[in-house]
Amino acid sequence: MSDEASISNGAAGVAGPLIVATGIDKNFYDVDREIQVLQDLSLTVESGDLIAVVGQSGTGKSTLLNILGSLERPTRGTVLFEGQDLFALDERGTADFRNHKLGFVFQFHYLLADFNALENVMMPALIARVSEREARERAERVLEMVGLKDKLHRRPAELSGGEQQRVAVARAVVQSPRLVLADEPTGNLDSRNGEAVMELLKELHKDGATICMVTHDPRFAKHADREVHLFDGKVVSEDELRKLTQEVEV
């Protein structure tokens, strides 16, 4: 397989930004009309960043995260991860990227109902053909890290909403990914559980993970190294956002 076809597991030392997204457009089609969600968007994410992507509903925040994670293909533009074009990867290369380099935390945890917390967290490692013993050890370690050591064998229905989301975070990081994408990870939680999940993400960041988080809550956005503001599908500065918001209000 060529270098362009796969993401190498040994690429952690690659110089330069972790992610460079350039000229991203994303269009959707609704019956007979075209809807442009992202417009000529460019974004650079440095290794070790903790970024909060903020903006009103419908500005393309989740779509941007999905594109950075290769879950959606842009209509136009490129996304480089450690210098490699994500959308030039073949099927195996894309799978390797998602399983070894990426951890995704969704607003809705999407845990497998028939499996307990330990089995849910083991799943990414097992898919990567890690031995069952090693997968179990990793899963137990990260579940202890998120404060669920005593609930390894509980199924999702036996866990609170906050506990389910912490299992989802553990599942996202069991493979020690270079990049964690979190889409409104506190959106369905009360303030106490939301703070607990945010503290966990901060701890992961301190341990070296690069985190890009979509949030509508300014309490959590303030923990980020920087905020990326989206307005009508474009990245804008705070000054530009103020002007655009004033124009809309007028």
> Would you say residue 142 lies in a domain?
yes
> Would you say residue 108 lies in a domain?
yes
Average pLDDT over the chain reads: 85
> Would you say residue 67 lies in a domain?
yes
For residue 110, the enclosing domain spans 17-249
Q: What is the pLDDT of residues 48-59, one digit of tens each?
A: 999 999 988 888
> Would you say residue 33 lies in a domain?
yes
Distance separating alpha carbons of residues 97 and 209, to the nearest angstrom? 15
Number of domains in the chain: 1
> Would you say residue 163 lies in a domain?
yes
> Would you say residue 1 lies in a domain?
no
Q: What is the pLDDT of residues 113-171, one digit of tens each?
A: 999 999 999 999 998 889 999 999 999 988 988 889 899 999 999 998 888 988 998 89
Torsion of CA 194, 197, 199, 202, to 10 degrees: -130
Q: What is the pLDDT of residues 162-213, one digit of tens each?
A: 889 889 988 988 888 889 999 988 877 778 778 878 887 888 888 888 999 9
- What's 108's domain CATH number? 3.40.50.300
Say yes or no to pLDDT of 237 above 90. Answer: no
Global confidence as pTM: 0.82
pLDDT of 123: 93
Cα 82 to chain centroid distance, Å, stands at 16
> Would you say residue 7 lies in a domain?
no
What does R_g of the chain's alpha carbons equal in angstroms?
18
Distance separating alpha carbons of residues 37 and 25, to the nearest angstrom? 7
What lies within 8 Å, CB to CB, of 158 at 6+ separation is 151
> Would you say residue 2 lies in a domain?
no
